[in-house]
């Protein structure tokens, strides 16, 4: 069901697990989008646009008639997540909770205020806390399509002990228009989906890839393990 472009890109991965994650993500995106559009997975028109080059990578877009379906994809470890919404642009991120020290990563990825929050936590809670803040940053930057072209330490999110929220970033989009909802990707992982939907109420429906069927979309996340 995949396109020639997707298969060609898959062939460029040197590690088998990276290639399998990419192929699974392509399959899951096409299958979940097809369920919403009423077409076969092979007929889902997927584009990946890089703003910096002409290569087919970056934020995926689904071209369709009659419904504006926003999508996002994330994969880490043995998790692959696809999010879909008709409410507005969205980004999903799932990450493994680091098992080693996160001090170096935190210095690059967190703002001074976020670093202070992290360092105030007991050491055994810092890895999960860092992962929670990191997925929020990734998800909101995926929603806009900027990705890590914006330094993550310029994006400030709420404390990991609070409901996930965007507090500030260097974009003209007001942080209050971005809603972040936590996901449950299982032990050892952190995940959220962010939707740029203003004050439109968003309900997130989370399902396993084994249970693929059309659903009424506000924001939906399907996950493969």
Read off the pLDDT of residues 146-196 as tens digits, 9 standing for 90 and up: 998 999 999 999 999 999 999 999 999 999 999 999 999 999 999 999 999
As beta bridge partners, residue 147 has none
Q: How many helices (H) and strands (E) does the chain have?
A: 5, 11
Read off the pLDDT of residues 102-123 as tens digits, 9 standing for 90 and up: 999 999 999 999 999 999 999 9
Nearest of 225, 149, 155, 161 to residue 194 by alpha carbon: 155
For the cut 80, the answer to whether the pLDDT of residue 53 exceeds it is no
Read off the pLDDT of residues 200-211 as tens digits, 9 standing for 90 and up: 889 999 988 877
Inter-residue contact 204 to 219 (CB < 8 Å): yes
pLDDT average, residue stretch 81-98: 95
Strand locations in 27-130, DSSP E?
Answer: 45-48, 60-63, 70-76, 79-85, 90-96
Supply 199's token pair: 């004050």
Output DSSP code: residue 165.
-
Nearest of 53, 55, 46 to residue 27 by alpha carbon: 46
- What pLDDT does 209 receive? 82
pLDDT average, residue stretch 212-221: 62
For the cut 70, the answer to whether the pLDDT of residue 199 exceeds it is yes
pLDDT average, residue stretch 65-85: 92
Band the pLDDT of 66: cuts 50, 70, 90. confident
What is the rounded CA–CA span in Å between residue 66 and residue 44? Answer: 14
């Amino acid at each position: 069901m995949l396109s020639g472009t997707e298969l060609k890109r898959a062939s460029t991965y040197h590690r088998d697990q990276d290639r399998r994650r990419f192929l699974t993500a392509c399959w899951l995106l096409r299958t979940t989008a097809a369920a919403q559009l009423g077409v076969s997975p092979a007929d889902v028109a997927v584009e990946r646009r890089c703003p910096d080059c002409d290569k087919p990578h970056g934020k995926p877009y689904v071209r369709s008639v009659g419904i504006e379906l926003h999508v996002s994809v994330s994969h880490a470890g043995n998790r692959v997540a696809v999010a879909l919404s008709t409410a507005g642009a969205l980004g999903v991120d799932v990450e493994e909770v680091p098992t080693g020290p996160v001090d170096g990563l935190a210095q690059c990825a967190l703002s001074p205020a976020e670093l202070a929050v992290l360092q105030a936590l007991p050491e055994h809670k810092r890895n999960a806390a860092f992962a929670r803040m990191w997925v929020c940053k990734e998800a909101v930057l995926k929603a806009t399509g900027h990705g890590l072209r914006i330094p993550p330490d310029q994006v400030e999110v709420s404390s990991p002990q609070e409901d996930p929220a965007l507090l500030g970033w260097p974009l003209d989009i007001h942080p209050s228009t971005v809603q972040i909802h936590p996901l449950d990707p299982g032990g050892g992982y952190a995940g959220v989906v962010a939707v740029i939907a203003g004050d439109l109420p968003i309900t997130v429906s989370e399902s396993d890839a084994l249970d693929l069927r059309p659903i009424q979309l506000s924001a939906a996340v399907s996950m493969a393990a």
